[in-house]
Structure 1
Amino acid sequence: MQAFVRTAEAQSFTAAAQRLGLSKSIVSQRVADLEARLGVRLINRTTRRLSLTEAGIGFLEGAERALVEAAEAEERATRHGTELRGMLRIAAPLSFALLHLQPAIFEFMAAHPSLEVHIDLDDRHLDLIGGGWDMALRIGRLPDSSLIARRLAPCHVVCCATQDYLDRHGAPARPEELEHHDCVLYSGSHRADSWSFLIDGEWVPVNVRGRLLTNNGDLILGAVLAGHGITILPSFLVGCLIAQGRLVRVLADWPTREEAIHAVYPPTRHLAARVRLFTEFLAERIGKEPYWDQGLGFRETTVGRGALP
């Protein structure tokens, strides 16, 4: 039944096998055995794709419910023990994971020695269901989807540079003056050459230019620390550097867009104790005001929010 449900979720024997830690042939055989036991075909198989039959669609709901009930019973039983067990599979963006998720995972694993963790670092949004992930961390605007989301923390973006760069080129007094500066640009945004600021109560796109364009926040940060220009980056990357005096906020009186950091989960998968407890642990560790934002003086804006610059 589990082999069938995971295959139906992923629409792939291969992806279901990866999730279950089995070979593709074993998963395929288990689904075939289930069909033989029921006396009905549940999945149509072609060389290109899998699809549920009418009987499969009807059986899926009951099978999912049965697996959830079994997982809940198992969780109730294991609560009498002292350790979390099993594997926690997480997908997360690279820069955030290295700076903030890494120490959290190490601390959580130390508290639960029987827990295994599999984490994939990728700034792209991976297919949670097809890849068999228990959860993912997503930063910025969440697209409409069937995923379940829990907000963990705000995600502010900060315009910043080194004092050395500002001494050599001057600090912009208004956002519009950025067009006269070298800016280090993030190619992963919708418009790499346009940053949004709240000006006179409205979000205004400001054109920027620069000689370095990259899809990696750590590379942007390195370029800015080397004095190559002004950038706009999430506060989880630059907050501590500003507190240390290595970077200086630019245009602090002009709010930039705020989004959020979310934990997201597949909709049909039972939220196992290890997933729920790790999410709660991470939210508590970050805090209602993220530790990397303390002292930066962010204020809430009253106009609509949008995608991160």
Structure 2
Amino acid sequence: MDALNDVAVFVQVVNRGSFTAAADTLGLSKSVVSKYVTRLEDRLGARLLNRTTRRLNLTEVGRAFFERSQRGLLEIEEAEAEVSRLQGEPRGELRLSSPMSFGILHLAPLLPAFQARYPELSVDMVLDDRKVDLVDEGFDLAIRIGELPDSSLVARRLGPCRHVVCGSPEYFARHGVPQSPEELAQHAALTYRYASSPNEWRFLGADGNYRQVAINSRLQMNSSLALREALLNGAGVTLTPTFVVGADILAGRLKAVLQGYQALEVSIYAVYPQRKHLSPKICAFVDFLGEAIKDPPHWEPG
């Protein structure tokens, strides 16, 4: 930092035309100002100023150094002003990672209202069911659903993510409605590839005991939205989040079954790297999601 201070004092001396005037501007003594300039010349190994009792003259080397130094100091001032401006209001670009189905169904519809609230902030949302590395891949934050492993990331819970077993009314009319988790073995199951145990579903009964059942997976996909389309067309039953099928259950296009048994329930989180000074754009988006996603969320069927 001494080097930068020396340069700043040197530029001030040249701009003010004397050591005395520069000292008055900087609130320093003339001897201290002279010391800064002398130290700078010693470090550079070059004379920057020719000093006389009446005036100062830049040497040829000094003029070249002054011009570049003055531009550099102005760049630093502008950079500091930009940081202050960005810290005051959410601006710039927010890079966001989200699971595919949640991003399409619930984040994309919210973005117009968010950007209307913060018109100087743009959003780059990447939809991917894999867990991205926020730091290495340059994301500001990510939406994660499920149990979070220990990490250096900061997590804010946005709401619950409940799962239900469901299928189309037409499918159940043909194959019957399962009355217990064990009866699922008699049905065509659709499974999500990235589930922790896609071929075993776990339920909590009214008696407080857990029951884990093996299911007959007839169709496995890596997209919850694709599974939903197969469900709507009578392909079978699945265990899926209510944020994917809640609207369909409310509209009667799908039917939830085994409601006397509690299926998987996890949480929805916004996660972001731990930072001493959190960017206003991250704060603004996380707070906005907190307002939009209630507990229970609007997509819950009853």
Does TM, normalized by the shorter one, top 0.5? yes
**Contact 2:101–2:225 at 8 Å: present in 1 too?**
yes
> Offset of 1:103 from its aligned partner?
1.2
Shift of 1:117: 1.0
Superposition deviation, residue 294 in structure 1: 4.9
Q: CA separation in 2, counterparts of 1:249 and 1:143? A: 30
State yes or no: 1:120 paired with 2:126.
Answer: yes
User: Is the aligned partner of 1:274 residue 2:281?
Assistant: yes
Shift of 1:214: 1.0
User: Deviation at 1:225?
Assistant: 0.6
The corresponding residue for 1:235 is 242
For residue 260 of structure 1, the aligned residue among 262, 267, 276 is 267
Structure 2 segments unaligned to the other structure (5+ residues): 1-42, 44-79
Contact 2:87 2:280 in 1 (8 A): no
Q: Distance in 1 between matches of 2:192 and 2:157?
A: 24
**Aligned partner of residue 166 in structure 1, secondary structure:** helix
Q: Does 1:188 align with 2:189?
A: no
Question: Does structure 1 residue 74 correspond to structure 2 residue 91?
Answer: no
| Cα deviations by residue, 1:107-130 (Å, 9 ceiling, x for unpaired) | 111222211111111011100011
Structure-1 separation of matches of 2:266 and 2:81: 34
| Preserved contact between residue 75 and residue 272 of structure 1 (Cα < 8 Å) | no
**8 Å contact from structure 1 (residues 71, 272) kept in 2:** no
CA RMSD of aligned residues (A): 2.1
- The one-letter code sitting in structure 2 at the alignment partner of 1:206 is V
User: Given the superposition, is the C-alpha separation of residues 269 and 206 from structure 1 closer, same or farther in structure 2, using an over 3 Å criterion?
Assistant: farther
1:124-158, CA deviations, whole angstroms, 9 ceiling, x for partnerless residues? Answer: 11000111211100001111111110000100001
Asked if 1:206 is matched to 2:216, the reply is no
Read off the aligned partner of 1:211 and give its amino acid letter: R
Q: What is the identity, as a one-letter code, of the residue corresponding to 2:144?
A: R
Structure 2 matches for 1:10-159, cutoff 5 A? 74=84, 78-79=88-89, 84-159=90-165
Name structure 1 gaps, 5 residues minimum: 1-36, 38-69, 296-309
1:152–1:77 distance in 2 versus 1, CA, 3 Å? closer
Give the aligned residue type for 1:147.
L
Shift of 1:271: 1.8
The 8 Å contact of residues 88 and 280 in structure 2, kept in 1 or not, is answered as: no
Shift in Å, 1:201: 1.3
Q: Distance in 2 between matches of 1:145 and 1:204?
A: 31
- Percent of aligned pairs with the same amino acid: 43
1:246 aligns with 253
Aligned residues: 223
After TM superposition, the score normalised by the length of structure 2 is 0.70
Classify the secondary structure of the residue corresponding to 1:211: strand
Q: SS of 2:136's equivalent?
A: helix
* Contact 2:99/2:128 (8 A) holds in 1: yes
* Cα distance in structure 2, aligned partners of 1:251 and 1:77: 50
Distance in 1 (CA, whole Å) between partners of 2:103 and 2:86 is 31
Q: Separation in 1 of the partners of 2:182 and 2:142?
A: 37
- TM-score, length-scaled by structure 1: 0.68
Deviation string, structure 1 residues 188-208 (Cα, Å, up to 9, x no partner): 112211100013312221110
Note the C-alpha offset of 1:73. 7.3
